[in-house]
Chain A
Amino acid sequence: MLIINNLKASIGGKSILKGITLEVKPGEIHAIMGPNGSGKSTLAAVLAGREFVEVTEGSVTYLGKNLLDMSPEDRAKEGIFLGFQYPIEIPGVSMVNFMKTAVNEHRKHNGLDPLSASDFLKLMRDKKELVEIDSKLANRSVNEGFSGGEKKKNEIFQMAMLEPKLAILDETDSGLDIDALRVVANGVNKLKRPDNSFIVITHYQRLLDYIVPDVVHVLYDGRIVKTAGRELALELEEKGYDWIKKEVENNVLS
């Protein structure tokens, strides 16, 4: 699905990612954990195609294609979805209109006709039920005046609508109460299939109580310093990120 090889990237001349190598196979859930400032969100930004991040070295192959050559909208239409850490408000643009445009762009890309209004509304209804979000959300402008939890749930709803092959959730759990967290996690679990993959970026382990990852990576100072199974998340929870920091420093010294 996704092969990242020795990826280095900088923002405004400052090196952030210092050689990341990672492979995500279909059906896998990868968790990327790490302290603040370790480069987690920058990695998500590179994968989604944000222009302010400059890739200086390495490659990213997605479904056999060079991902870095693709425009952000083509990546989206090829099945990459980014759940934003801070979802953006677009005043005056209704969720219905926004999603209809997005869904039909995806369909056009796949050689399908646009959905009729009634089919589209039915799709919205089904997905809203699936991710258990308030049906009033759809009548409001995109993220405008949404609470933090509503914004995150809305990201999961959009993910359900667009059915991505690879979903990257950038700290979707931050700032959520336990109910919202459950909604987000349930959304992911319901959408999980053998042929799609998730990269869940999170600071805390608690999301991983609900979403069970196949692989956990720890990102520190622009590098993946540890990769293991689910137990790594629990170990991190117990020992804290200082443990990782110390370990990295010891490795450098020895």
Chain B
Amino acid sequence: MVIHSIMEKDQDKILSDVTSGEYKYGFYSDIEMERIPKGLSEEVVRIISAKKNEPEWLLDFRLKAYKHWLTMKMPAWPNLRIPEINYNEIIFYAAPKARPVLNSIDDIDPELRKTFDKLGIPLNEQKHLAGVAVDAVIDSVSVKTTFKETLAEMGIIFCSFSDAVKEYPELVRRYMGSVVPYTDNFFASLNSAVFSDGSFCYIPKGVRCPMELSTYFRINSANTGQFERTLLIADEESYVSYLEGCTAPTRDENQLHAAIVEIIAEKNAEVKYSTVQNWYPGNKEGLGGIFNFVTKRGMCKGENSKISWTQIETGSAITWKYPSCILRGDNSTGEFYSVAVTNNYQQADTGTKMIHIGKNTKSTIVSKGISAGHGQNSYRGLVKVLKNASNARNFSQCDSLLLGDKCGAHTFPYLEVDNQTAIVEHEATTSKIGEDQIFYCNQRGISTEDAIGLIVNGYAREVINKLPMEFAVEAQKLLQISLEGSVG
């Protein structure tokens, strides 16, 4: 017993040493912004719509959502401690003032360009990341989309949500809200009422998108909420791989991010959607950080369609999201690969829903939670097999890794199976990074910090391997940085 307690003391020291890494993206850029007054009302919804010169049908959509939202209460079921959010203290619309019609990179506000340079996001197509087209969204407004013309030659539409509303209203109208209706949940309704921009993507029939499409989200202004929507449509026989990244400045107050992502995959289409989420997580004492309350859902609408979610969640004070798949088409496939890190006082309640409706539908869930410091990490997942979904198959694996003894890991798997031919499997493990493992690495000349990086990346490898190559390396570094100081 005595030996044990001494070892634990060492481990505590180790842990407190390694979990003190700093957030690298905490800077603030002084960009001239246009903001509307704080608070939320029907008037505010109308102002947002007017600012964006929206058509009547979209204003209607917003108003219906707003009215519905007023009838709703924030749900209390997640395993999270969320301070009360005062919606009258939030600015619901902020946009860089100089939002010109951009003809070239030179038209971008230099301060804005500097911001993205600092983040390592190339807005300049000459300096592009190998084969990645970027849509940059700052405080809910898309500021620049690269490679638009190149993609257009293949009939691919990749632009800001606002531009899509103007230029492709039929597509937007047909699909928006078809996967996540405005009544879906508290934050989805809020988003539907006040969303300001986001990304839109359409891959036409039979086209394989030749490059990674990427949206980069940046919250910059103080006291603003970020509410963007992403709508991604993969028409029959098409393929696209999409990546989103996000960061925010270091601030003492919490900021709300409530986004919606809708994906539609038609017959034989395949969509890979990857997220590297690195919103500001708050400081070591748990002050500040982003509330990341996001609704992400994909509809495998056609036969043989496939939607695959991969997420690396290292940021945010609170993460609350369940990227899900509705497997409506026969033989369709849904996948969810997730690594969620909670360090210091971060909290995450994340997982997925796989709804099997079509016949021979398949889903795979691999969730890897990593908790350090006082972090709390919950996996929550639903696998639902409807009556007609014969031969549905699901495999779920939920692993938790604990660093230290002040953090927590929780698993809430829900299974609802209404078809006898379904096969549903669930595996779960919980492990700790042992002092023995770290010492073993030390003895081979590897420092404790590198050892943790190695062990954590080994643990998360199955998920990281699903990311596009360029981002897998970034994700590995990010994992290590976000656990810096957490074990020693």
- Interface residues, chain A, CB within 8 Å of chain B? 11-14, 48-52, 71-73, 75-77, 81-82, 84, 87-94, 97-98, 101-102, 105-106, 109, 141-142, 158, 162
Complex CA gap A41/B440 in Å reads 15
Check B458 against A52 for contact (C-beta < 8 Å): no
Complex CA gap A93/B459 in Å reads 7
Q: Kindly list chain B residues whose C-beta atoms are within 8 Å of the C-beta of A91.
A: 431, 458-459
Check B445 against A88 for contact (C-beta < 8 Å): no
CB distance from B115 to the nearest CB of A (A): 34
Interface of B is mostly: helix
CB distance from A54 to the nearest CB of B (A): 8
Q: Kindly list chain A residues whose C-beta atoms are within 8 Å of the C-beta of B440.
A: 84, 87-88, 90, 142
Q: Which of A11, A50, A141, A162 contacts B445 (CB 8 A)?
A: A162
Check A49 against B442 for contact (C-beta < 8 Å): yes
Q: Kindly list chain A residues whose C-beta atoms are within 8 Å of the C-beta of B462.
A: 92
Known A88-B439, A92-B459; 15 more pairs at CB < 8 Å? A11-B3, A51-B7, A51-B10, A52-B3, A52-B7, A73-B445, A77-B445, A84-B440, A88-B436, A88-B440, A89-B437, A91-B431, A98-B441, A98-B454, A141-B458
A52-B3, A52-B6, A88-B436 are contacts. A72–B458 as well, Cβ < 8 Å?
no
Q: How many A-B residue pairs have CB under 8 A?
A: 88
Is B127 interfacial (CB 8 A cutoff)?
A: no
Q: Kindly list chain B residues whose C-beta atoms are within 8 Å of the C-beta of A142.
A: 440
Q: Which of A12, A71, A92, A158 contacts B458 (CB 8 A)?
A: A92
Complex CA gap A13/B445 in Å reads 29
CB distance from A95 to the nearest CB of B (A): 11
Nearest-CB residue, chain A, relative to B434? A88
Check B2 against A12 for contact (C-beta < 8 Å): yes
Interface of A is mostly: mixed
Q: Kindly list chain A residues whose C-beta atoms are within 8 Å of the C-beta of B458.
A: 90-94, 97, 141
CB distance from B433 to the nearest CB of A (A): 10
Q: Kindly list chain B residues whose C-beta atoms are within 8 Å of the C-beta of A158.
A: 444
Check B436 against A98 for contact (C-beta < 8 Å): no
Q: Which of B447, B455, B461 contacts A73 (CB 8 A)?
A: B447
Complex CA gap A73/B439 in Å reads 9
Complex CA gap A94/B454 in Å reads 10
Complex CA gap A51/B11 in Å reads 10
Check B454 against A106 for contact (C-beta < 8 Å): no
> Considering the complex of A and B, which 9 residue pairs feature the smallest CB-CB distances, nearest first?
A92-B458, A93-B458, A12-B2, A72-B442, A102-B444, A76-B445, A88-B440, A12-B3, A105-B445
Contact flags (1/0) for B435-468 with A, using CB distance below 8 Å? 0110111111111101000110111111000000
Q: Which of A12, A73, A75, A82 contacts B446 (CB 8 A)?
A: A73
Check B444 against A162 for contact (C-beta < 8 Å): yes
Complex CA gap A72/B6 in Å reads 18
Complex CA gap A68/B441 in Å reads 19
Complex CA gap A237/B305 in Å reads 70
Nearest-CB residue, chain B, relative to A90? B437
Q: Kindly list chain B residues whose C-beta atoms are within 8 Å of the C-beta of A109.
A: 445
Complex CA gap A158/B446 in Å reads 13
Check B455 against A72 for contact (C-beta < 8 Å): no
Complex CA gap A72/B443 in Å reads 6
Nearest-CB residue, chain A, relative to B450? A101
Complex CA gap A193/B473 in Å reads 40
